[in-house]
Amino acid sequence: MNPRPFYFRRETRSAFVLIEVVIALTIFAMVAFSLVMALDSSLDAAMERNQVDMALRGLDNQINLLHSARVLPGESDAPDDGSGILYHISVAQEQLQDQKNNPVPNTYRATITATWNFRGQQQGRDVSELIYQP
C-alpha cells in the first residue's frame, strides 16, 4: 500500500509542469525581446542609410547644376527641394598655375555641404570639386 493518496502525486507533477511552462515562457519572451531590438536597430540603420543616399544624390544634382551654369564666386543656399536636406554652396576662385608657372584663369573650387537632422542629431556630408570654365 502506498502511504500517499493518488491526488497528492498528481499535484506534485502538475506543479512541476507549471514551472516548466513558466521557464519556457520566460525564454520565449527573452528571445522575442532580443529579436524586436535587433529589428529596431536594423530599421534605424536602414533609415539613416536612406537619408545619406538621398543627400549624396542631392549633392550630385547640385554639382551638375553648377556645371550647367556660369559659376560666380560667392556663397549661397540652394532652394529647398522638399527632402528636408539643406544645401549650402560655396564657390571660390582657385589660384592654379600651369607647367610654365602661368596662372590659369577661370578656375573655381566649389564646395557643397548637405545638412539634415536624423533622430535629433545633425548629420552632414560635403563634396568639393574644381571647375574650369573657359
80 part of a folded domain: yes
State the pTM of this model: 0.71
> How many distinct structural domains can be found in the chain?
1
88 part of a folded domain: yes
Residue 62 burial by Cβ neighbours in a 10 Å radius (0-12, 13-18, 19+): buried
pLDDT at 18: 85
C-alpha cell at 61: 544634382
pLDDT at 53: 95
Top pLDDT among 62 and 1 is at 62
90 part of a folded domain: yes
Residue ranges making up the domain that contains 115: 6-132
89 part of a folded domain: yes
75 part of a folded domain: yes
1 part of a folded domain: no
Tens digit of each residue's pLDDT (9 = 90 or more) over 79-110 = 888 888 999 999 999 988 888 988 888 899 99
pLDDT at 14: 62
